[in-house]
A = this chain, B = another copy of it.
Amino acid sequence: MIHGKNLVNGEWSAKGKAVFKTFNPASNDANEWIFYEAHESELDLAIEAANRDLKTYSNFSGKKKGAFLRAIAEELEILRKHIVHAYCLETGLPDGRANGELGRTINQLLMFATLVEEGSWVEASIDTAIPDRAPIPKPDIRKMLFPLGPVVVFGASNFPLAFSTAGGDTASALAAGCPVIVKSHPLHAGTGEFVATAIKKAMDKEGVPAGVFANLNSKDHHIGEVLVKHPGIKAVGFTGSFGGGTALQRIAAKREEPIPVFAEMGSVNPVVIMPSAIKEKSEHWAGQLAASMNLGAGQFCTNPGILIAVEGEDLDRFCNDIEKAVNTQPSQCMLHPDIYEKFTRGFQRLLSKPSVSKVAEGQDDAEVNTALPTLAMVNAQTLLSDPELMEEVFGPFSILVKCRDEGERLAIIKALKGQLTLSILSNKNELEQHQELLYLAQERTGRLIINGVPTGVEVCPSMQHGGPYPATTDSRFTSVGTGAIKRWVRPVAFQDLSEPLLPDALKDANPLGIYRTVNGENTRKAL
C-alpha cells in the first residue's frame, strides 16, 4: 500500500532516482517499502505551489481552516490501523505508544481547529479615529495577525506523529493560514506517507488548494538545506538535536532575507530532589523518576537527565530506592541502530570518567537495539568542572548529582543552561523557604514543575514547551499548546482602510464575535 512517493502540488510524485528504505530496529532489518528521494524539481514545484496558493489559503475563514483541520483528524482516525502498523515497524515502539501519540496528534489538530473557529487568536486591535484632534487628527488604525507565508516543517525522529507530518508544527502553521512543506523524517517515511495521505484526502474533501501541503522524502541533509535556503520559504519549524537545530538556524540567518527558525533542541530537564521529598516519599519518587527516564526508551526531549540532591543519610536511602527502581526497568528498543549506538557510546563515555560511578542499570534483555536504562552518580564539584556531564545523552540515562550542601545545589542550578523543564520535588513548607531556588529555576526554564516528572507534556493553552537557549532558538515562543501558532504570524496594521475592505476580524460590527482590543479595552462588543 505504501508507494514511497512525494506529495507535491496535490500529486504523488517520484522524479528522483535515489531511493531509500526505512528500518525496523526491533527485527534489525530494513522494511520492504521503497521511498523516492525528493528531486529538486519537486521541491521547487512544492514551494511554487505553496506561494501560488498562499493568498487563497490565507484568506480562508477560521471556520474553513477549522473544518480542514478537523477533516485531517478524521482521516487520521480512518487510517489509524495503517498508521500504527507502519509506526511500529519504523520505530520499534509498542503499539500502545503509537495509538497514544496518534490520539495526541488528533487532539492537537482539534485544539487548533477550535482556536481558529473561535477566532480571537488574531489579536485584533482597533483604535478609532479622532478627526478633530489637535494638533493633528488621529487616524483609524486596526491591526491583526496574518500568516508569514510557506513554512517548512522537519519531522522529528522521536515523535513520528505528534511532531512530524501532521504534528504540532504543521497543525499550528496550517491554523495560522500558512502552507506547509514537510521534510519527512527518513526513519519513518512510511508513517509520514500515511499521514500525508490523510492530509491529502482532507484537502480534497474541504477544497483546500493543492499547494497548501507537501510532503518530501529525503534521507540526507541536502533537501532540508535547500528548503531552508529557498526564498519562497518564510519560516522553519524543527524538533531535534542541538546540532541540527543550530545548523538550520545558521542557514536561515545567512539568507538574503533571513527567516525565523523555531528549533526545539531538547535539554537535560533537571530534577531537584529536596530533602522533604526523600524523607516523605523516597520510594514513590524513585519509582516515578526511574519510569520517566526510561519512558519511550528515554527518547523524549523532556527526559530527566540530571537529578540533583544534597547528600546525607536520607539521600543514601533514596539511592537504594532508585537503584531498585532502575533495576526493574526493562531495556527497550530504540528508534534505530544508529541512535542505539550513539546512546551506548554516549553513556559509556561518561561512565568511563574516573569520577563518574554507576548506581544502577535496568534489565538487560540481550535483544538488538535495546537500550539499557542506566543511572550514574557524580559529585557536584565534578559536574561543575566538566560541562560534558551536563549535555543531553539521548536515551534512558540520568546522572544523580550529589551536592555537599545547599550552596552547591544553587551553584549547580546557576551553572545550568536553558532547559525545556526544570522540576522540584518538595513539600509546600520547604518550598516556601527556598524562594531563591525557585527564582533561579524559573530563570532557566520554560516550564517549572513542582512534584512531577518532566515527561508528559499537557497540550493546552497554558503549556509552555520552549525555554532559553539552547533548549530552543527563541525562548519567546512555544511549540506545544495554542501559543504555538504565534510563531507563524506577524501583525499588519491598516490605517484608514474602509469598512468593506477590512478583514472580518476588524470590521465595526465584529461579525466574528471575537475578543478585540478597542481603544485599549478588551471587548467583544461591536463598535
Are B125 and A461 within 8 A (Cβ)? Answer: yes
Chain B residues positioned under 8 Å from A498 (CB to CB): 428, 431, 450
Chain B residues positioned under 8 Å from A497 (CB to CB): 448, 450
Given A257-B469, A431-B498: A445 touches B492 (CB 8 Å cut-off): yes
Cα A143 to Cα B481 in complex, Å, equals 11
Given A458-B138, A461-B520, A463-B141: A258 touches B494 (CB 8 Å cut-off): no
Are A494 and B448 within 8 A (Cβ)? Answer: yes
Chain B residues positioned under 8 Å from A410 (CB to CB): none
Are B450 and A493 within 8 A (Cβ)? Answer: no
Are B438 and A469 within 8 A (Cβ)? Answer: no
A416 CB to closest chain B CB (Å) equals 12
Binds B, one of A63-71, A280-288, A472-480: A472-480
A150 CB to closest chain B CB (Å) equals 12
- Asked whether any CB of chain B lies closer than 8 Å to the CB of A299, the reply is no
B143, B486, B489: the one contacting A464 at CB < 8 Å is B143
Are B431 and A496 within 8 A (Cβ)? Answer: no
Given A257-B469, A447-B493, A490-B476: A55 touches B458 (CB 8 Å cut-off): no
Chain B residues positioned under 8 Å from A522 (CB to CB): 120, 515, 522
Cα A458 to Cα B493 in complex, Å, equals 11
Are B495 and A450 within 8 A (Cβ)? Answer: yes
Q: Write the A96-116 contact mask toward B (1 if CB under 8 angstroms, else 0).
A: 000000000000000000100
Are A495 and B449 within 8 A (Cβ)? Answer: yes
Cα A494 to Cα B463 in complex, Å, equals 9
B260, B439, B448: the one contacting A474 at CB < 8 Å is B260
Are A490 and B462 within 8 A (Cβ)? Answer: no
Are A446 and B146 within 8 A (Cβ)? Answer: no
A373 CB to closest chain B CB (Å) equals 21
Cα A67 to Cα B500 in complex, Å, equals 42
Are B449 and A501 within 8 A (Cβ)? Answer: no
B55, B428, B456, B462: the one contacting A127 at CB < 8 Å is B462
Q: Write the A413-457 contact mask toward B (1 if CB under 8 angstroms, else 0).
A: 000011000000000100110010011001001111111100010
A137 CB to closest chain B CB (Å) equals 10
Q: Describe A's contact surface by its main secondary structure.
A: mixed
B142, B428, B451, B486: the one contacting A462 at CB < 8 Å is B142
Cα A304 to Cα B431 in complex, Å, equals 58
Chain B residues positioned under 8 Å from A198 (CB to CB): none
Chain B residues positioned under 8 Å from A249 (CB to CB): 253, 258
Are A491 and B470 within 8 A (Cβ)? Answer: no
Are A493 and B469 within 8 A (Cβ)? Answer: no
Chain B residues positioned under 8 Å from A258 (CB to CB): 249, 469, 473
A452 CB to closest chain B CB (Å) equals 6
- Asked whether any CB of chain B lies closer than 8 Å to the CB of A511, the reply is no
- Asked whether any CB of chain B lies closer than 8 Å to the CB of A460, the reply is yes
Are A449 and B489 within 8 A (Cβ)? Answer: no
Specify which of A139, A448, A476 lies most central, judged by the most chain B CB atoms within 10 Å of its CB: A476
Cα A179 to Cα B260 in complex, Å, equals 26
Cα A432 to Cα B143 in complex, Å, equals 20
Given A442-B146, A520-B461: A478 touches B500 (CB 8 Å cut-off): no
In the complex, the chain B residue whose C-beta lies closest to that of A473 is: B258
Are B141 and A462 within 8 A (Cβ)? Answer: yes
Q: Write the A145-157 contact mask toward B (1 if CB under 8 angstroms, else 0).
A: 0101000000000
In the complex, the chain B residue whose C-beta lies closest to that of A496 is: B450
Cα A458 to Cα B137 in complex, Å, equals 10
In the complex, the chain B residue whose C-beta lies closest to that of A431 is: B501
In the complex, the chain B residue whose C-beta lies closest to that of A118 is: B520
Chain B residues positioned under 8 Å from A25 (CB to CB): none
Chain B residues positioned under 8 Å from A136 (CB to CB): 456
- Asked whether any CB of chain B lies closer than 8 Å to the CB of A363, the reply is no
Are A143 and B495 within 8 A (Cβ)? Answer: no
Q: Which 8 A-B pairs have the closest CB atoms?
A: A464-B493, A475-B490, A125-B462, A141-B462, A127-B462, A449-B495, A143-B462, A127-B460
A-B contact pairs, 25 of them (CB 8 A): A55-B439, A114-B520, A138-B460, A141-B462, A143-B463, A249-B258, A250-B253, A257-B417, A257-B470, A260-B476, A431-B498, A438-B501, A446-B490, A447-B495, A448-B492, A449-B496, A450-B497, A451-B496, A452-B495, A452-B496, A461-B520, A462-B517, A464-B493, A476-B491, A478-B491
